[in-house]
Structure 1
Amino acid sequence: MVPMLTLALRLARRFPDDAALLAELREDKLVRRTIDACEFLAQAARERRTVTVAELAAAVKLPLSGPAQAANARSVATILAALTTSDFEGARPLLTALVRRRDGKPPPPAFFALVDDFGLLAPYDDEDAFLADETARVHGAWAA
């Protein structure tokens, strides 16, 4: 699922003015939500802020409460993995570094596992240092 979402993001980013392509991509709910999540995080980056997982989930209409909570949480995790992978493959700062858990806690452990798989944690002494640097990179890239 992540490779398909990554491809959809690549197409949406490469052809942002192609209305027909974007409409076709958005026909799939998960692709639409992934593109919406990217846009939501890009806006947060331009505003130099972070967001919570719950805020992101609500923005893409996947609330993390109620009877669909577990399924929605899995969808949000898939979306975050696709966004992280897409940014890594495109050699861009990771927008997902702006996503925090409740009360300002660092991103979910799956985020750090994925960036570690990509080799991005290796130069750092700890996850907090990586997160601070990556958040600054994201803000710098999008706020400029």
Structure 2
Amino acid sequence: MAWKKAKDEALTILRQRAKRCDPITYSELASKISAAQMEPHDPRLAHFLGEISTGEHEGGRPLITALVVHKHDLQPGKGFFDLSRSLGYSFIDEIEFWSEQLDRLRAQWK
């Protein structure tokens, strides 16, 4: 139950950010989720974000977790791109793919 509540909290935060196309760091997102405590480098956070992306993908929406970025380079982690490929996306240039996802988010949530 806490896991689902945490995902609902994260989706609310990410959808608010998507409306402004405003990325959020892993650490900031983790700190804003009260239903489940996770650290930014916690493997559960990667799994958690993967579940959110999978749900969005299955709903025909862009990968909202494209908004979640590292503090040091303001880009998503390797797991985002690995998951994207596992969901059937095909791309060579990761930054270009990420940029396209951000554009799709902007159009979806404006």
Partner of 1:47: 20
- Overall identity of the aligned pairs, in %: 28
Q: After TM superposition, give the deviation of residue 140 of structure 1 in Å.
A: 1.5
Q: After TM superposition, give the deviation of residue 63 of structure 1 in Å.
A: 5.1
Partner of 2:87: 118
Match status 1:108 vs 2:77: yes
Q: After TM superposition, give the deviation of residue 75 of structure 1 in Å.
A: 2.7
Cα distance in 2 for residues equivalent to 1:110 and 1:140 = 24
What do residues 37-84 of structure 1 show as CA deviations (whole Å, max 9, x unaligned)?
Answer: 0110000011221111111101103352xxxx76xx233222201111
Unaligned runs of 5+ in 1: 1-27
User: TM-score, normalised on structure 1?
Assistant: 0.69
Unaligned runs of 5+ in 2: none
What do residues 92-123 of structure 1 show as CA deviations (whole Å, max 9, x unaligned)?
Answer: 11110111011343212111111011121x2x
Contact 1:52 / 1:99 at 8 angstroms: preserved in 2?
yes
Letter in 2 for 1:129: E
Partner of 2:33: 60
Partner of 1:91: 60
Cα distance in 2 for residues equivalent to 1:32 and 1:74 = 18
Match status 1:75 vs 2:40: no
User: TM-score, normalised on structure 2?
Assistant: 0.88
Cα distance in 1 for residues equivalent to 2:105 and 2:73 = 17
Cα distance in 2 for residues equivalent to 1:58 and 1:105 = 17
In terms of fraction of residues, the more helix-rich structure is 1
Partner of 1:127: 94
Cα distance in 2 for residues equivalent to 1:105 and 1:49 = 11
Q: Structure 1 residues 45-54 or 104-113, which shifts more?
A: 104-113
Partner of 1:8: none
Secondary structure of 1:102's aligned partner: coil
Secondary structure of 2:72's aligned partner: helix
Greater relative contact order (Cα < 8 A, sep 6+):
2
